[in-house]
Every structure is written in C-alpha cells, then in structure tokens.
Structure 1
C-alpha cells in the first residue's frame, strides 16, 4: 500500500502500523488509569462518559483506530482484518451517534484475533453477551438500535475523542475508572513515571493506615489557614 498521507476527506484503510513496545503495554495494563493519568501530567483521559460495561477489568493494548459514519459500522468490520494480539479497537464517529454499533458477533471476530477489548465513542449492544464472553468494552452508550453498512470511513488514521488525539499504535489503558491514552513514543516513560508514583503511594498508604491524617501529611492545615478557614468549638444557637 502507498505510504502517502491521505487528502482531506479521503477514505483509507491503513494496513500496517507501528505499535508501542508490548512489554511496556502489558505492564501499564497492571497499573490503573488513575495512577497513569496523574503520572503523565493529567493527560490522555477520554472523559467520564466513556464507561465500562463490566466491572473489575484492567487492561492495556495498542490502538487500532476507526473513523465511522454515525450509525454505520462498515468500517468496524473492515478494521477487524488488521487487528491482532494485544490490540484494542478504538472507534469514533464523524458526528455523535447513540447507535449500538458493536455487538457479540463482532466481539467473536476480535476474540479470535486475540484483541483485548473495545473503546467506542458511540454505543454497544448485546452487553450481557459481551460480559458473558469476557470481552471488555468501554462505550458512551448502550443501545439496541441497529446500524447500516453503507458509508465509507477510515481505519488506522489519527482520531480524537474528547479532544484527546489517538494515533494507531498508541497505548490504550482502561479499567473501572475510565480510559487513558498514552502516545506510542511515551510508553516506556509513562511506565517509569507510573511505577515511581505507585512506590510513593505505597508509602503514603502505610502512613495513612497507621492513623496519620491527610491534613498533616499533605500540609493542608496551613492551606486552610491561608484560605481563611477557621476552627471554632461549636456554632452558637
């Protein structure tokens, strides 16, 4: 396939992409999105409205991206061919869509290709079946409303969700707290920063568990005073 950059409005399926280091991706999948988000400077969060349809799943994978027409899942089907072990399919639409664009049949195809999950800025259907299959998904909507397969889009092009840019091969980290994206080139750095934060948090957790107050540990008493907060014994009647 030609490596030329597609023109504005051109629909393409990019068949070959560079992916983040798989060992870093696996390790980030054990960290947790809240820690990663804080460790990399509070970047990469795809927003609170992308919610998991299951609980207790923590995963990271490399992004295969899809740009679809609202209510049309043709390009999701096209993307399956280029998904592989360790990927996460990331789908957005050219305008808001509440349709159930992904269900158990597509999940069966992705499972066969050892894909780790789905992030979709639209809807999923067959949510009970997806949970029973153990195929994790993060979606903006759950909807039984079906789709068509008639409008072109693109696969493995840069996309954006909630102002966060997602390039093919970036690291997608997802758990009960949401979805955070780490750029492919920053995967190793993000892992180092996340591990350092985990070490710090472990020490903090031990001190708080021993009874130390966060007010004292974080030096917040002085901040309260500087903000004009005063302590009094009780309110007068």
Structure 2
C-alpha cells in the first residue's frame, strides 16, 4: 500500500469535525459548513483537483469546452473535484453530464462552492456531489472557467492540487498536503479523546465531569 492510499484510508476513518479541530489547533483554516451532500451518498475523501470559476461568458477564443470538463478529463480514482464558484447559488456550476463523465473516470466526487443541478442524474450515476444549493439554472453564458489545477480559494482555505478533501454531512475540511501527516496525527488524537469521553458517558460518568474543554483540546488527560 503506497503513501497516497494509506493517507486516504486513514483520513477516511475520520469525520470533518475531527479534521477541523486538528486544523484549528495548528492555526490553519478550519472546516467549512454549508456545503452538503445533495443526495444520500457516503462521506467523501480524496485528493483535490481544483477548478476556479468566475462570472461571465466563456472566452470565444477557447475551444468551447464546458466548464470543469478539462479537470474531469485529467482526474482519476483518488481525486475529488473542487469547484471554486464563489459561493453563488443562483446558477449551477455542476450538472448531470459532468457527474456522468466523472463517474465513468472513477473520480470520487465533487465539492462545489456553489450550486449544482441534475441531482437525479448524479444519483443515477452513483456520483457523490457536495454543493451549497441546487438550482436548475445553467452555467452557460453565466460562468467561465478561470483555471484548472491551480490553487483556489474556498471560504477561508486555499486549496491546491493534491490537498486532501474530507467531506461529510457536517461539512468539508481541506488538508494541505505538505502537512497531511501532522494534521492526521492531531485529528486521530481528537477522535481518540472523544471516543474515550463517550465511553465514560456510557459507563455512567456525568457530562460536566467527562466533557471538559481542556480535555477536548488535549491539554488535560483523563483521570
């Protein structure tokens, strides 16, 4: 098992809240709320393949390819498309044909800082889509692609190609690849502390005794 696979497996055992706490503790941008699964699929972990969009019509000198198609065509089974759509919810930045194309390439899913459409088609393709909203309004004539594979901003985070994406029903966290092992260790420690507290609660401990901020932060060990 190579390092990439090991990393994704390890992060796949964590939730976005634990990863967000680890990022917070290391003074990095924490997780982001408001981007949620649009149909009932699994949690999502993979390497970021970023795409930046901006308002406006497509460049008439371009090949005419639709937004995000080049990113889909160059992504694979360990990747998650990250669409930096500026949080717009009045126009779709992801649709059914993109979901089908990405699913056929084995891409793990998409996280869109914007709206999506064709939810039924994504569900039929079995393709996980995370977005801020849904809308039937097309991107054609309303959005243009600025870049593919270059760093993008999503909320407070800068997301680069190969960063780790963790998305679930709670939200999304972005892990800088250069610090992935450090953040993983911190997130695993968060998960262990919370698991220990949960066990104490099930064993009859009082909530105030078991759940102390210092303990949750890792600055106090259990008695």
- Structure with bigger gyration radius: 1
1:207 and 1:95 map into 2 onto residues whose CA distance is 41
Q: 1:144 and 1:26 mapped to 2: Cα distance?
A: 35
Aligned match of 1:137 in 105, 129, 136?
129
TM-score for both structures, normalised by structure 2: 0.80
Q: From the superposition, tell whether residues 45 and 130 of structure 1 become closer, same or farther in structure 2 (CA, over 3 Å).
A: farther
Tell me the residue number matched to 1:29. 12
Counterpart of 1:39 in structure 2 is 22
- Give, in whole Å, the separation in 1 of the partners of 2:180 and 2:134: 31
Measure, in 1, the Cα distance between the counterparts of 2:32 and 2:19.
14
Which of 82, 85, 88 matches 2:77? 85
**CA distance 1:188–1:127, shift in 2 (3 Å):** same
Report if the CA contact (8 A) 2:78-2:108 is conserved. Answer: yes
Match of 1:63 in 2: 48
Distance 1:95 1:194 in 2: 27
Unaligned runs of 5+ in 1: 1-19, 221-237
The structural deviation recorded for 1:26 is 2.5
Q: How does 1:34-183 map to 2 (within 5 A)?
A: 34-41=17-24, 43-55=28-40, 57-70=42-55, 74-93=66-85, 96=88, 98-148=90-140, 151-183=144-176
Match of 2:186 in 1: 193
Distance in structure 2 (CA, Å) of the matches to 1:95 and 1:59: 20
Kept in 2: contact 1:171–1:181 (CA 8 A)? yes
Distance 2:146 2:212 in 1: 53
The match for 2:61 is none
1:13 matched residue in structure 2:
none
Cα contact 1:71–1:99 (8 A) shared by 2: no
Distance (Å, rounded) in 2 between the aligned partners of 1:219 and 1:139: 34
Query: Which of the residues 198, 201, 205 maps onto 1:205?
Result: 198
Matched-pair contact (CA < 8 Å) for 1:71–1:147: no
RMSD: 2.4
Taking the aligned partners of 1:143 and 1:67, their CA distance within structure 2 comes to 19
Deviation at 1:157, TM superposition (A): 0.8
Task: Label 1:181 to 1:151 Cα distance change in 2 as closer, same or farther (>3 A).
Answer: closer
Gaps (5+ residues) in structure 2?
58-64, 214-223
Higher strand share: 2
TM-score by length of 1: 0.76
**Secondary structure of 2:10 counterpart:** helix
CA gap of 1:44–1:111, structure 2 versus 1, over 3 A, is farther
